[in-house]
Structures are given as C-alpha cells and as structure tokens.
Amino acid sequence: MKRIKLYLLIFLISNFAHAGLTQFGNVMQIVNPTIAGLTSTQEKGMGHFLIVFAQVEILTQAMKFIGEQTTWQASQRPCCLSNYGGMPSGHTAAAWSGASYVRLFSPKYPYLIVPLYATSVATAYSRVQNKQHSSAQVITAAALTEILTVINSSLNWSKNYQAQFSLAYTDTSKDIKFAIKF
C-alpha cells in the first residue's frame, strides 16, 4: 500500500508538471491534502485531518477577508494592485497543510515528507512566478500552516482523537456505527 501511494504521487507530479508551473501549483493544492487524508486514515482517521485542514483554511480565508476589507498593503496582489486578497496564499496553505500533517501525524510514511514539502515549495514558487502572490504572502501561508499544525499536534484533543466506523450486516439487522472521541 505504501508503494502504491508513492507511485501515485510520482505519477501525479510527473503527469501535471509538463502542463506548466501554474497548472502544477493548482493541482498540488489538491493532491497534497488528498495524500495527507489518505495517510491519516491509517493513523488518526480522516476526520482528524479534516479538522486540522479546516482550521488552516478558515484562518487563511479570514486573513484574506480582513485584507480585502481594510485594503491592507501586505495583502495586495502583484498582478493587480487593486486586489487585496493575496495574504496569505491559499494554494500554498493547502499544499503545505498536507506536508505538515504527514510529517507530524503520519509516522508510518516518512518517505512522503520530502516529496510533499518539495511540491509545496513548488506550489508557492508557482504562485510567485504567476504574479498572484508576493514572496511574503507565500512564506506567511507556509509559516501559519506549519505553526497551526504544530499547535494541533501538542493539544490534548489531537492526542486523544479517535474515530471509529463500523458496518454490520446480518439477515435481521443492518447497523452502521460512527463515533468520534476526543
């Protein structure tokens, strides 16, 4: 199973890399969290990853909203100076969250850490090259994501999180059970 996931990652990277750096960044913002979600099912459960990922996305979108409402200079996009939705980079935050999550919560997959961080850096670079974000905006996204994931790794809810799903089927009954414990 480990090799299948690694081959899938390599295939996706090589398949989309030829489409250009911008397309690569667009794809990796989805692929990295997907890989983290797939590995999390073996360790903590996909629900755990989704909670951490949702926190990253909410923080990112809240900062973008504040930047747009206040016309914060640091939030100005290089491509279009009248657009203040650039701080922090959502693509970078999404890609980085996958790498950070696997590093901290999926110790059975150490061989995925370097490729996930490499694709996260490439995603950040693609956003700067495409003039959608400044270097400060992508660095902020990576730093905030890393900090938020590290904080989650030290919190009790995260350490004690358990998700259980079971499906039982007999001739007389059909039972589905889903439980989350913090």
Answer whether residue 182 shows pLDDT above 50. no
Query: Does 181 reside within a domain?
Result: no
What residues pair up with 179 in beta bridges, in sequence order?
Answer: 164
Q: Is the per-residue pLDDT at 181 higher than 90?
A: no
In a domain, 85, yes or no: yes
**Residue 6 forms part of a structural domain:** yes
Structure confidence at residue 152 (pLDDT): 87
Name the burial class of residue 1, with classes exposed (0-12), middle (13-18) and buried (19+) by CB atoms within 10 angstroms of its CB. exposed
Question: How many domains does the chain divide into?
Answer: 1
Q: Is residue 11 part of a domain?
A: yes
84 and 65 Cβ atoms separated by less than 8 Å: no
The residue among 17 and 103 whose pLDDT is bigger is: 103
Q: Are 137 and 86 in contact (CB under 8 A)?
A: yes
172 lies in some domain: no
Containing structural domain, residue 142: 2-157
Q: DSSP 3-state helix, strand, coil percentages of the chain (rounded to 5)?
A: 70, 10, 20
